[in-house]
Structure 1
Amino acid sequence: MADSAEAAEAASSLTLNSEEEVQYPEGGLQAWLVVFGGWCGFFSSLGITNTLASFQTYISENQLASYSTDQVGWIFSLYAFLTFGCGIYIGPIFDVYGPRLLVLLGSVCIIVSIFVLGVCTQYWHFILDFSILGGFGTSLLFTPSIAAVGHWFHRRRGNATGIAAAGGAFGGIVFPLLLQSLIPKIGFGWATRIMGFIILFLCALANLFIRSRLPVSSNRRSPHPDFRILAQPAFAWTVVGVFLLEWALFIPLTYITSYAISKHYSQAFSYQVLPILNAGSVFGRWLPGFYSDIIGRYNTTLLFTILTIFSIFVIWLPFGAHTAGLVVFCLLFGFASGSNISLTPVCIGQLCETRDYGRYYATCYTIVSLGCLTGVPIAGAILERCGGSYWGLIVWTGACYVGALVALYVARGLAGGWKLWLWY
């Protein structure tokens, strides 16, 4: 009887596992080509996002030298706002129609934006081209690049998403170094055009390989976020945590080059600190995703948030004026904060069914986008209030991460339990 019971249990387990494998391939050529397409999409979209500090420093010193720090900051905060805020439509549209048209339109918008950027001279030029057209295109490409991966992976979703998201970090290495090398030789206009040709090639690959797998939804719901799901406590606290993470993340990404210049580092080194930060982020996108499948997605996010807080308060604040301290901070912050992009969507997906992911994602990032809109200008205003000293900006960044840690811990406890070593 015992043997029969064990056999029945094993058969039941095998059936469940087989059903799961049918539902999620968890690998195979087609699945990994989707991941590669997502990697190209991230390189072309969030690679630009990870180059904001280079753009901010150059534009502030040249085309918009007469504008204040917080005024220039609005260009990049509006870009970040649209990057995440346009999910209000893009997420649900992905659920209903799939990624094909979204990826194509996003590619066109990004390519046009980058080619036009080189001839922008006025404040409103940058707002219309980089902030609005570029931010909208980034959202159109970035959202399906990450959502499509979830159609092919379940148990290994964290690892697969982390690999795809690493493309954004590679873009954040290549593009700043490209601009630093080419601007003195051929000027800002042609440097951005060469950047545009690279993006054109990568977008072609993204359009070729990104595809969904689950059946197109026949439920033609209105493509708006459903704020009623905020009544779920775990989801509501997750939104608060992600809001604070993104509120803080874009501050170093935008100001780290200006910070280095203010500390009297050489112009060359100041432009290289951003690629150093993004080099750390390459591993910070992939490794957290890999280990999240082993120890839990929320658990991994919490651990890396703690590491981010350590990098800010223990390294950047006291030792950022020293070369070794700044390099260590950039590598550690890039590594630790990389999970902000690769793991938070996976955490959201853990709270809902795959078919509803677009709606949950849209609801979360519609709110989070407000943090992206205000974070950089607030940091710029703090910088001016402190007379150009960066200590207030650094403390503000660290405080946001501390708040995110608390919120995500509460979300993890509500959704998965409060035991310390529980997988969730």
Structure 2
Amino acid sequence: MATISHWFERRRAFATGVACTGGGIGGVIFPIIIYFTAPKIEFGWSIRIIALISAALLSIAYCLITTQRPVRTDSCRELTLKPLKDPRFAATTAAIFLTEGAVFIPSTYIPSYTVHAGLSNLIAYLLLVFLNLGTIPGRLLPPLAADRLGRFNTMIVTTLMCGILTLALWIKAGDSLGALVCYAVVFGFWSGAALSLSPVCISQTCSATEYGSRSGIAYSIASIGMLLGIGLAGVIEQHSYRGVIVFAGVLFLAAAGAFVVARGVCRGWAWGVRF
């Protein structure tokens, strides 16, 4: 992902979105593979099939990736947390931390919520497929708009929509299959945008030569947010799925607020600015 910033500037968000669509396609195909093969060849062999497919695709990716810029042999010695002293990067990292903490909660818990609501295991599996299916256009269309309207501006809308959908639609869905499918697809669309735009927002705070190390720092910190978000949601789930939904929605709204602050720190507080 870091090499994309070497090749694209004006269309960087859209290029990153195109690259990220592979995650959505895999999110559709891999659950289907597991569902239909695990009862016949056991779960372990289903995972091995996915591993072989992943290895083949990664081998192709390895052969295709090139960089426009010389490799810095001293980059490992310079990999520190000093970039966090830059308020633009620190604010953006905090916003991504909250986003990563929220974005995987629905995809993790909506299958078990579906079973808890009285629907079948097949429906629970299909909802996850629908959610990942929604991420495919979500990883393409909002990034395309982001190159015109501003990456941070679009990210604010994206996280805000995720929060509103979670608090307004999922929390009211109950055992309604139509409402759950609608939420899965529409939330998938906006969450796909959040996942593909986050790295582009990092690139707005640094030069292309610094992007690799800064994205590594940002996502190392954000991974803690993801673990905390999913883990805390699991604790809340022991008491109430409603609490899980509220927790995820509030995290998304906090992420939207954090991106507003990050945008202000990076570019100022004028709303008419494309950034």
Relative to the length of structure 1, the TM-score reads 0.63
1:272-311 deviation digits (Å, cap 9, x = unpaired) = 1111000110111111211111101001101111111121
Specify the alignment match of 2:120 in structure 1: 266
Identity %: 39
Specify which of 35, 39, 60 is matched with residue 180 of structure 1: 35
1:372-417 deviation digits (Å, cap 9, x = unpaired) = 2222121111111x1xx30000100011111111111011112122
Deviation at 1:219, TM superposition (A): 4.3
The answer to whether residue 222 in structure 2 is matched with residue 368 in structure 1 is yes
Q: Is the 8 A contact 2:133 2:188 kept in 1?
A: yes
Q: Counterparts of 1:339 and 1:347 in 2: how far apart (Å)?
A: 12
Q: Counterparts of 1:162 and 1:220 in 2: how far apart (Å)?
A: 27
Specify the alignment match of 1:164 in structure 2: 19
Deviation at 1:234, TM superposition (A): 2.4
Q: Is the 8 A contact 2:21 2:139 kept in 1?
A: yes
Give secondary structure in 2 for the equivalent of 1:423: coil
Structure 2 residue runs of 5 or longer lacking an equivalent are none
Specify the alignment match of 1:327 in structure 2: 181
Specify which of 207, 218, 225 is matched with residue 62 of structure 2: 207
Specify which of 153, 159, 162 is matched with residue 299 of structure 1: 153
The answer to whether residue 16 in structure 2 is matched with residue 194 in structure 1 is no
Deviation at 1:218, TM superposition (A): 5.3
1:190-225 deviation digits (Å, cap 9, x = unpaired) = 222222222232122112111212122254551533
Q: Counterparts of 2:33 and 2:41 in 1: how far apart (Å)?
A: 11
Q: Pick 1 or 2: higher relative contact order, CA cutoff 8 A, min separation 6.
A: 2
The answer to whether residue 244 in structure 2 is matched with residue 393 in structure 1 is yes
Specify the alignment match of 1:416 in structure 2: 267
Distance 1:301 1:347, change over 3 A: same
Give secondary structure in 2 for the equivalent of 1:343: helix
Structure 1 residue runs of 5 or longer lacking an equivalent are 1-145
Give secondary structure in 1 for the equivalent of 2:42: helix
Higher Cα radius of gyration: 1
Deviation at 1:354, TM superposition (A): 0.4
Matched AA of 1:215: P
Q: Which moved more, 1:313-322 or 1:194-203?
A: 194-203
Q: Counterparts of 2:270 and 2:134 in 1: how far apart (Å)?
A: 31
Q: Counterparts of 2:193 and 2:87 in 1: how far apart (Å)?
A: 22
Q: Is the 8 A contact 2:37 2:46 kept in 1?
A: yes
Specify the alignment match of 1:128 in structure 2: none
Q: Counterparts of 1:258 and 1:199 in 2: how far apart (Å)?
A: 26
Q: Is the 8 A contact 2:96 2:222 kept in 1?
A: yes
Deviation at 1:320, TM superposition (A): 4.2
The answer to whether residue 139 in structure 2 is matched with residue 285 in structure 1 is yes
Specify which of 354, 357, 380 is matched with residue 234 of structure 2: 380
Runs of 4+ in structure 1 over 3 Å off: 218-221
